[in-house]
Chain A
């Protein structure tokens, strides 16, 4: 029996009077690999931020490992959306990764030898060790994204949250990236906001459709109803690139 790592009960969230999420119930087990899909403005990123404790729900409960998200920082990893802000910031690759080991309330803290060894290990795994002294702004979009992944992984997270992680990564980089995630998924749960529907069929184990409500499908399938009612990625249907099995009707509806 798998243990749940994330439990959301009757959660609602609104922004300036506009309801974003209504009455969401969701349970995610350990070692899940969940893709959150849905239309823009449907609340995917909002739901992710609620799970991270960056936002407070209007009502309802979010619990991570049975606790409030604010108390679980040391057990989770987070890869934010790469939107290229702060590129001129004077910080090296190594220092960005070490940020993932940050413990607060420990003034004067210099990073320990253990922290540096962990950062070295994860940078080597991602083939970024040679670039450790580079400034973050000198890297390509794909390399920078790998640094952010290294920063999330350096802490050996039990849950990894990612927000559209491959938006700026070329297709070769994407394949490598998902292989890394697949390996990590042997020990950790992965929750990912994604538009990459190809990925869903080949790596992801379950799909959460987010559009004000959340419909959780414990299979890597996208049904026609999901597309019609909740997700509406029109180009998916018209381009017809998606393997046909993901378009099969789903009995749960």
Chain B
């Protein structure tokens, strides 16, 4: 591993993985405890439509995707606000339409086409320095917002009705949360790919939930777990010359199954 770090692309990959882990630890925890994994998947996939839009109209990449993802997130928030756990169908529709729009718009764009594979699995080995700074900024913004609204987010996530009675602006926080998801997902997809984002958003928080006594600890444990998965995955992919994104996911999946087995074992005793 140490020799691998002589290469700048490996150092950048490591930093990118660590920064993505921080964001995914915080946002993933909120996604898992609020049971909005499906919505997050929807936002992530639909944002492909933003990539298509950006290429078709010649807009800057970030502008197109971020704008489109935020718009999708706000629509999903509005649709799911009233009945949080019963809007799968509409999410599914937005999910599919976003992707289809992206594919068609890139078809219609003459010349250069985005590679769907790099969107799915990212290109963690080719992260430029500018993207690292962007991710660092994003991580800080997410930490600050979550810290500022921590108690309100906790109350909303644990008992929405009670939170409303206490005067917590639940609707605003819900839009804010989905907005933060859109922001994180778009930035991180560029680096590690859609599939890895979903994996990092769900697997570490799922494991961490068992071992955490508070939401804040769950965020911390999730972030540390995803850092471990990312570093181990990168190392294995370097050693065995495998696709890094997929290797990181397999390491996370191994962690997931070990945790499930441990949990079973503990319960039987």
Taking Cβ atoms with an 8 Å cutoff, the residues of A that contact B are 52-54, 70, 73-74, 76, 78, 80, 86, 88-92, 95-96, 99-100, 102, 104, 107-109, 111, 133, 135, 151
Contacts and interface: CB of A to CB of B under 8 A. Distances in A.
B107 interface: no
Given A90-B217, A91-B154, A107 B159 contact: no
A54 B148 contact: no
B158 A99 contact: yes
Contact of A91 (B149, B158, B161, B164): B158
B215 A88 contact: no
B151 interface: yes
A78 B209 contact: no
A102 B151 contact: yes
Interface of B: 33, 147-149, 151-152, 154-155, 157-159, 161-169, 209, 212-215, 217-218
B147 A108 contact: yes
Contact of B218 (A78, A90, A133): A90
Nearest to B169: A104
A90 B165 contact: no
Given A54-B164, A90-B212, A107-B148, A95 B154 contact: yes
Nearest to B217: A90
Mostly helix, strand, loop or mixed at chain A's interface? loop
Contacts of B152: 102, 104
Contacts of B217: 90
Nearest to A133: B213
A86 B168 CA distance: 19
Contacts of B162: 78, 80, 99, 151
A32 B218 CA distance: 43
Given A89-B157, A99-B155, 4 more contacts: A90-B212, A95-B214, A102-B168, A108-B147
Residue of B157, B166, B169 with highest tally of chain A CB at under 10 A? B166
Contact of B167 (A90, A104, A111, A135): A104
Given A90-B218, A92-B214, A107-B148, A99 B154 contact: yes
Contacts of A74: 167
Contacts of B167: 70, 73-74, 104
A102 B147 CA distance: 15
Contacts of B214: 90-92, 95
A177 to B, nearest CB: 19
A38 to B, nearest CB: 21
Contacts of A96: 158
A108 B158 CA distance: 19
Contacts of A86: 33, 158-159
A131 B27 CA distance: 29
B209 A102 contact: no
Nearest to A152: B162
B141 to A, nearest CB: 14
Given A90-B212, A92-B213, A73 B158 contact: no
A90 B205 CA distance: 11
A99 B161 contact: no
Given A86-B159, A107-B149, A91 B165 contact: no
Given A73-B167, A90-B214, A108 B155 contact: no
A86 B217 CA distance: 17
B165 A52 contact: yes
Contact of A80 (B151, B161, B215, B218): B161
Contacts of B213: 90-92, 133, 135
Given A54-B161, A95-B214, A104-B169, A88 B154 contact: no
Nearest to B209: A90
A74 B168 CA distance: 12
Given A99-B154, A102-B155, A104-B152, A73 B147 contact: no
A87 to B, nearest CB: 11
A151 B162 CA distance: 10
B85 to A, nearest CB: 10
Contacts of A95: 154, 214
Contacts of A80: 159, 161-162
